[in-house]
Structure 1
Amino acid sequence: MRVGLFGLLGTGNLGNDGSLAAVLGHLRDEHPAARIEVFCSGPEDVMARHGVAAVPMNWNRAEYTTASRLTSIVRKGLGKVVDAFRTANWVRRQDVVIVPGMGVLETTLPLRPWGWPYSLFLLSLSGKLVRTKVVFLAVGAAVVADRANRTLLVGAARLAHYRSYRDEVSREALSAMGVDTSGDPVHTDLAFALPNPNPPVDKGVVGVGVMDYHGSNDDRARAARIHRDYVSGMTDFVRRLTEDGRVVRLFVGDQVDERVAERIIDAVGSRGVSVVHTSTLDELLFEMARVESVVASRYHNVLAAVKLGKPTVGVGYAAKSDALMAEMGLGDFCHSMRDLDVDRLVKQFTVLEESGPEVRAVLTRRNAEMSGRVERQLAELSAILRGER
């Protein structure tokens, strides 16, 4: 059996790489004879971390940098043509290609149509042409406003052999864009398949997840203001925690978030505040397991916190964060990143800590439900690999 995995993997996004780790773990346990190859944006990292064959998704390795000179613009254009043939050739060599989780059908962060949406469309189109099954496994989706991105992402979804979603919000979003999702199942995020660590908890320590946030794909004109307001608000929140005598650990979910964490420390000072440096979702889970409560922005920081049973305030930038918090019984502790109100955030955090025992009990029950959902999702994947679906 030849199994390919496809995505923006190995580039420092802990959530994406966690989804990859979950699927690889399942394949190695349940399908040890499968020959696995990953088509991704960071093949060197994937090979080093997971010991699997990996090849670059794009012929032009500068695909995700801004092209300013004529030569780089021409190289990008040429790369689009070359990638069409490279993708088809790679897909032809697989029996099944899995897109493992991730928010692959959304533009809640800035996205150009000829980047990821084009790559995903090439994958699904190639699968249809060469009769390789393309599987969108527990993916995230959101309604896409701009026509070019929407056309490519919806086209990719329609051409896939199988689609499942990490939440009902994602299925509804794809349905709203005209895709028939009536036969598509909803399970949960693949990260729930990863084991929970159990280190000692440092009492009273607060984990604060921060993000290099500049708004959505529709916010490019006001991205600088959105970013400034978010960083200012989170800095004020951390300052209030330290003034109250709390120890704060700053968490990131992508390499680019490191600069936001450093800016907060520069403004607040390093007394009682530190940055937790992690390079995998497993490492993030271990470090977050050591704090007592969490206020987090990036989706997979929120997921890690609730998965660990931590009382959590989710400072979200998209419906997926609110959906996850609601599913975990924490709907009253959602906060919009775009309308950050520090006074309200402090009040939410205070109520959260006062309700700690009750919140932990709810999270224990909900996590048991999520474990069952992700097991059913992986069982469906095995049925596809065996040719039963």
Structure 2
Amino acid sequence: MTSADGTPVRVGVFGLLGSGNLGNDGSLEAVLGYLRAEHPEAVVDALCGGPEAVTARFGIPATRLHWYRGEYRTASRTAAIAGKGLGKLVDVFRTAAWVRRHDVVIVPGMGVLEATLPLRPWGFPYSLFLLCASGRLLRTRVALVSVGAAPIGNRPTRALVRWSARLAAYRSYRDAPSRDAMRAMGVDTRRDEVYPDLAFSLPTPPTSAPAGPTGTVCVGVMNFHGSNDDRARAEEIHRRYLDGTIRFVRALVEDGRPVRLLTGDGVDAPVVDAILEAVDSPLVTAAEVASLADLMKETAAADTVVAIRYHNLISALKVGTPTLALCYATKSEALMDRMGLGEYCHPGREVDADRLLEQFRALEKRSAELRQTLAERNLAAARQLEDQFAALTAVLFPATDHRRAHARQEAS
């Protein structure tokens, strides 16, 4: 793929990538798959949270998102506060210089327009604003592709997110509530489309799942403390979630069910440790996962999945395993509705182990039926993402799209 002057088109990818979140990296993998299949001549690099990890895994050059290396550490000392403040200024010029080197920048999926987990406005929202403002000023097209959004209470965060969306050249959302949230925040969404999460375009890895039921239940956990607006009661929310989850796992073990604990980010390890210690049974084991492909293999081998992290849910649904969601944000409910399992949601902030067990048993009774539903919904999601990538090519790479259309006309 080349630009008008014959040089390869330069594409940047941007986000908290390579930082330990498997869902974010899965979204990057999906976009790189699209670029390599449809635009193989593009020169691709990243501005991201974990450049070393991105380069090692995906084979593309990567630059650190923040100049100040302690960006996500709490700053209490004067030197650290000064370093963060200076970093915000330096990042204005670093981001603009990086954007200038590209024809197109893609923000692949992720919840970049939401604050459903604790988030400071001068962290990632500020970085996203710098990206989108630089793109507009330097005439580099910035695309927010199948991103998540949600209502935001904090005014500085809301303002940064709103302006980032307004300045982007292209926007699409992973669910209708995301688009509704941006419309409510004052963004004109009339031309914005809704597509499934990018992870649904990833290949389903081959598995050695047994032909019949094994009794195994995968329980996806999270170091959950509520949303950005829940900071005052974060520890209470965490304790309720953890206590309810422990009671649920203990009940499964008492029924003789093997339980496999799954994570989706490195920060979830303390929750795994707490459950293993509290239940103390050889039936409970922890999976070591490093990608969405690993999560898919684990969930494919299970009879049923109960999970809270969004991309744990996607991994299970994509391989067709009946799934029950512990929902902490509208995105999980929207996902379950899209996949035909909307009635199997449970509040993540108020985990009631007895009620959760009732829902779990009801889910298992319909296992065969729901597996068929998931197979049909996955086919539909894959087709919709093909449309998404075609739309992306038309908007971001019009010269290439025009040449392909011309070639098809000549061939006919």
TM category, shorter: over 0.9
Q: Are the counterparts in 1 of residues 222 and 309 from structure 2 also a CA contact under 8 Å? A: yes
Q: Supply the distance in 1 between the matched residues of 2:208 and 2:365 (Cα, whole angstroms).
A: 21
TM-score, normalised via structure 2 length: 0.93
Pairwise CA distance, 1:290: 1.4
Q: Are the counterparts in 2 of residues 197 and 289 from structure 1 also a CA contact under 8 Å? A: no
The residue aligned with 1:245 is: 256
Q: Supply the distance in 1 between the matched residues of 2:103 and 2:162 (Cα, whole angstroms).
A: 23
Q: Supply the distance in 2 between the matched residues of 1:65 and 1:288 (Cα, whole angstroms).
A: 33
User: Aligned residues: percent identity?
Assistant: 56
The residue aligned with 1:133 is: 141
Q: Supply the distance in 1 between the matched residues of 2:142 and 2:205 (Cα, whole angstroms).
A: 33
Q: Are the counterparts in 2 of residues 201 and 292 from structure 1 also a CA contact under 8 Å? A: no
The residue aligned with 2:233 is: 222
Q: Supply the distance in 2 between the matched residues of 1:215 and 1:385 (Cα, whole angstroms).
A: 37
Q: Are the counterparts in 2 of residues 157 and 163 from structure 1 also a CA contact under 8 Å? A: yes
The residue aligned with 1:383 is: 394
Once the two structures are superposed, residues 213-261 of structure 1 have per-residue CA deviations (whole angstroms, 9 ceiling, x without a partner) of 0000011111011111111110100000000000000000111111101
Q: Are the counterparts in 1 of residues 141 and 396 from structure 2 also a CA contact under 8 Å? A: no
Candidates 145, 149, 168, aligned match of 2:176 = 168
What SS class does the counterpart of residue 204 from structure 1 fall into? Answer: coil
Q: Are the counterparts in 1 of residues 23 and 110 from structure 2 also a CA contact under 8 Å? A: yes
The residue aligned with 1:11 is: 19
Q: Supply the distance in 2 between the matched residues of 1:270 and 1:177 (Cα, whole angstroms).
A: 48
Candidates 21, 30, 34, aligned match of 1:22 = 30
Pairwise CA distance, 1:271: 1.4
Once the two structures are superposed, residues 62-112 of structure 1 have per-residue CA deviations (whole angstroms, 9 ceiling, x without a partner) of 101101111010000000000000000000000000000000000000000
Candidates 66, 75, 78, aligned match of 2:74 = 66
Candidates 353, 369, 377, aligned match of 2:364 = 353
The residue aligned with 1:105 is: 113
TM-score, normalised via structure 1 length: 0.99
Pairwise CA distance, 1:316: 1.1
Q: Which has the larger radius of gyration?
A: 2
Alignment of 1:1-389 (within 5 A): 1-202=9-210, 203-387=214-398
Q: Are the counterparts in 2 of residues 88 and 123 from structure 1 also a CA contact under 8 Å? A: yes
Q: Supply the distance in 2 between the matched residues of 1:350 and 1:324 (Cα, whole angstroms).
A: 21
Q: Are the counterparts in 2 of residues 139 and 166 from structure 1 also a CA contact under 8 Å? A: yes
Q: Which region of structure 1 is more displaced relative to structure 2, 256-265 or 379-388?
A: 379-388
For residue 64 of structure 1, what is the amino acid of its counterpart?
Y
Pairwise CA distance, 1:200: 2.8
TM-align CA RMSD: 1.0
Q: Are the counterparts in 2 of residues 205 and 247 from structure 1 also a CA contact under 8 Å? A: yes
Unmatched 5+ stretches in structure 2 = 1-8, 402-412
Count of residues paired in the alignment: 389
